[in-house]
Amino acid sequence: MHIQPLEALLQRGVDNAVLRFTLGSHYLKMNDAGTAIAHLQRCLQWSPDYSAAWKLLGKAHALNGHTEAAQDAWTQGMAVAERKGDHQARKEMQVFLRRLQRTDQPLSPSTS
């Protein structure tokens, strides 16, 4: 899927968590961490219990070299995932957090 139709929706006034998550995900895949962060943060304003958004927000911060922000996002995301019973997302964020703490190196956007 191309990003232009998604951006066009946003320009027409359509704004919701799913659209922002999708945009954030696409920008992260394009290595545009700053734009991904902006969309994912907006997604989480709409839906603070969106586990997958917390996971991608942490990845975007890590890609941008913001280790502390990545840790914060994954820590919050793990709490959300735990509350929701989203065990897979919690485990993934735990792995990302451990890797980041162990290597103190940013993750690539394709790391899943």
Decide: helix, strand or coil at residue 4: helix
For range 98-102, the mean pLDDT: 88
Q: How many DSSP H helices and E strands does the chain contain?
A: 6, 0
Q: Residue 1 — pLDDT band, cuts 50, 70, 90?
A: low
Q: Which structural domains are found in the chain, ordered by start?
A: 3-103 (1.25.40.10)
Q: What is the pLDDT of the chain when averaged over all its residues?
A: 92
C-alpha span between 70 and 35 (Å, rounded): 15
Amino acid at 84: K
Tens digit of each residue's pLDDT (9 = 90 or more) over 28-39: 999 999 999 999
